[in-house]
C-alpha cells in the first residue's frame, strides 16, 4: 500500500514529513498516471483556486474523480477539503472545479482573511478513541473553510463554535435601545464519509500525527507501519523513531 500526496501547490511537503514521522514514505503526485501507483491520497491545504487551475492544466480532475469513486481513501485538508466537497460557496467569481464526492457544502473562506487565521483546541472524541492521546486537538485554521451542511452519511468528527454579533453595530444597538446580543453558530470542521476524510484545519503543521495515523488506518496501512519504517533511509528512520511531543506545533 502506498500513500500519495497531491503536490501541485500548498503544504504537501509538510504532509510528507508527517507521514515520514509515522514511518511511511508518501509519493508526490503531479500527474494523473501517478495515481495508479498509490492506494490512498492526501490533498493538502494551500489555495484551492490555484490548485484547481493547476489540476485542470494537468488534466487531473477525471483521474481524481475516478480515484474517489473507486472507494480509495482520500483526505482533504483545508483547500483539499474544498476540493472534495460536492458544493462550495464563497468562491471567486466563475467558481472553480471541484473533485466532489463528499456530501457537504463548504464555505471557502468562512473565518475570513489571512488576518483572521487562528489556533484553537478542538474536541476530537472519535480521534482520541481511535488513536489515544488527549481528547482535544490543536487546530490551525489558516484562511480556513468550514462545512455549513453535511449529508446523512457524513460523520462529524469535530465542530467549532463561532460567536457572532447579532446587532449590526454597537452604535445602532445603543441608539435603538436594544441590547447587543451575541449568538453562537456551530460549524463543522472535520468529517468522515466512507473512504473520505476532510479537515478544515492543518494537522500537518502540528507535531500531533494522530490524524495522519487515523488516515493510515483508513488506508489499511496501520499494520504496515513498522515494515515501511524499516524500509526507510537511515535519517528518515531516526526521525520516525523519535517520539515527539504532541501538543507543540512544529513551527514556533
Q: Between 15 and 240, whose beta carbon lies closer to ligand GLN?
A: 15
Examine the residue annotation and report whether 204 is marked as an active-site residue of this protein.
yes
Q: Between 99 and 240, whose beta carbon lies closer to ligand GLN?
A: 99
Q: Give min distance, CB of 45 to ligand GLN, in A.
A: 3
Interface positions with ligand GLN (CB under 6 A)? 45-48, 78-79, 82, 108-109, 142-143, 145
C-alpha cell at 8: 501541485
Q: Between 79 and 84, whose beta carbon lies closer to ligand GLN?
A: 79
Q: Between 47 and 224, whose beta carbon lies closer to ligand GLN?
A: 47
Q: Give min distance, CB of 225 to ligand GLN, in A.
A: 27
Q: In this structure, which long-range contacts are made by residues 117-126, counting pairs with CB atoms below 8 Å and at least 24 apart in sequence?
A: 117/141, 117/142, 117/143, 117/144, 119/249, 120/160, 122/158, 122/160, 122/189, 122/190, 122/201, 123/158, 124/157, 124/158, 124/190, 124/210, 126/155, 126/157, 126/192
- The set of residues, in sequence order, having a beta carbon less than 8 Å from that of 200 and lying 6+ positions away, is 78, 81, 106, 110, 139, 141, 144, 145, 146, 147, 188, 189, 190
Q: Give min distance, CB of 125 to ligand GLN, in A.
A: 25
Examine the residue annotation and report whether 78 is marked as an active-site residue of this protein.
yes
CA 214 to chain centre: 12
Q: Give min distance, CB of 222 to ligand GLN, in A.
A: 27
Q: Between 48 and 209, whose beta carbon lies closer to ligand GLN?
A: 48
Instruction: State the catalytic residue, choosing from 15, 107, 202, 212.
Output: 202
Pick left, alpha or beta for residue 132 (phi over 0 → left; psi -120 to 50 → alpha; otherwise beta): left
Instruction: State the catalytic residue, choosing from 104, 204, 221, 240.
Output: 204
Q: What three-state secondary structure class fits 151?
A: coil
Question: Closest Cα partner for 156 from 120, 192, 115, 123?
Answer: 192
Q: Give min distance, CB of 77 to ligand GLN, in A.
A: 7
Mind telling me the catalytic residues?
78, 202, 204
Amino acid at each position: 500500500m502506498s500513500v500519495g500526496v497531491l503536490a501541485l501547490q500548498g503544504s504537501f511537503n509538510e504532509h510528507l514529513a508527517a507521514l515520514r514521522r509515522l514511518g511511511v514514505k508518501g509519493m508526490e503526485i503531479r500527474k494523473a498516471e501517478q495515481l495508479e501507483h498509490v492506494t490512498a491520497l492526501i490533498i493538502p491545504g494551500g489555495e484551492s483556486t490555484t490548485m484547481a487551475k493547476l489540476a485542470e492544466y494537468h488534466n487531473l480532475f477525471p483521474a481524481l474523480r475516478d480515484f474517489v469513486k473507486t472507494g480509495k481513501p482520500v483526505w482533504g485538508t483545508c483547500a483539499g477539503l474544498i476540493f472534495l466537497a460536492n458544493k462550495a460557496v464563497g468562491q471567486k467569481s466563475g467558481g472553480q472545479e471541484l473533485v466532489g464526492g463528499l456530501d457537504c457544502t463548504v464555505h471557502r473562506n468562512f473565518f475570513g482573511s489571512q488576518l483572521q487565521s487562528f489556533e484553537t483546541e478542538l474536541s476530537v472524541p472519535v480521534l482520541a478513541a481511535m488513536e489515544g492521546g488527549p481528547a482535544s486537538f490543536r487546530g490551525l485554521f489558516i484562511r480556513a473553510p468550514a462545512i455549513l451542511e453535511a449529508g446523512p452519511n457524513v460523520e462529524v468528527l469535530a465542530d467549532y463554535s463561532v460567536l457572532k454579533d447579532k446587532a449590526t453595530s454597537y452604535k445602532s444597538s445603543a441608539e435603538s435601545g436594544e441590547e447587543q446580543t451575541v449568538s453562537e453558530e456551530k460549524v463543522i470542521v472535520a468529517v468522515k464519509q466512507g473512504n473520505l476524510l476532510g479537515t478544515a484545519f492543518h494537522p500537518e503543521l502540528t507535531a500531533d500525527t494522530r490524524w495522519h495515523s487515523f488516515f493510515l488506518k483508513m488506508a489499511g496501512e496501520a499494520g504496515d507501519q513498522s515494515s515501511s519504517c524499516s524500509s526507510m533511509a537511515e535519517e528518515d528512520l531516526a526521525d520516525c523513531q523519535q517520539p515527539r511531543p504532541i501538543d507543540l506545533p512544529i513551527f514556533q
